[in-house]
Structure formats: structure tokens, C-alpha cells
Amino acid sequence: MVTTSFINRLSHAVDLIENRSLQGHPLKIVKIRRGYAEDPDAARDRHYAAHPEDRGADVVIFEFYDDEGTADESRV
């Protein structure tokens, strides 16, 4: 029979293994330009079409701009 204590210990062990495997692998952070009215998914798709190497990023940071034209300049 599995007890709550056993599940907690197992969960803790999995977390420790995961932390050890992530050491030495820095987080991949990506900045995506986006207009205030632009859909976040559309901004991500536009960015990843121009920069496919950024797919699978751990952290996505949106840089907001007033007009869509400025956000579209990030494609170059």
C-alpha cells in the first residue's frame, strides 16, 4: 500500500534528480517584441518563424511597443 509519506519522499527524490540534471545547463531566455494589442501566440509564432533556434526556450519575455509596426521590425 502506498502512503502519503512514501509519495512525498519519492517526489522529493525526483526533484533532486531533476535539479542535478539541470545543473550546468543554463536557462534559455528569449525576448519577443510584441504590440500591446497583438495576440501573444501570434507574436511567438512570428518570432519563431524568424528565429527557429529560439524554440524550446525556458523563459519568454515580451517587450511591448505602442504600435504594431515597431513590433514587426523585430523580424529582421
Q: Is the pLDDT of residue 69 over 60?
A: no
State the pLDDT at residue 22.
67
Q: Is the pLDDT of residue 4 over 60?
A: yes
Q: What is the mean pLDDT of residues 60-65?
A: 92
Number of domains present in the structure of the chain:
1
Q: Is the pLDDT of residue 76 over 50?
A: no
The CA-atom distances, in angstroms, between 28 and each of 1, 41, 55, 65 are 41, 19, 10, 23
Nearest to 40 by CA among 17, 18, 60, 13: 60
* Domain span holding position 21: 4-75
Q: Say which DSSP state 53 is in.
A: G
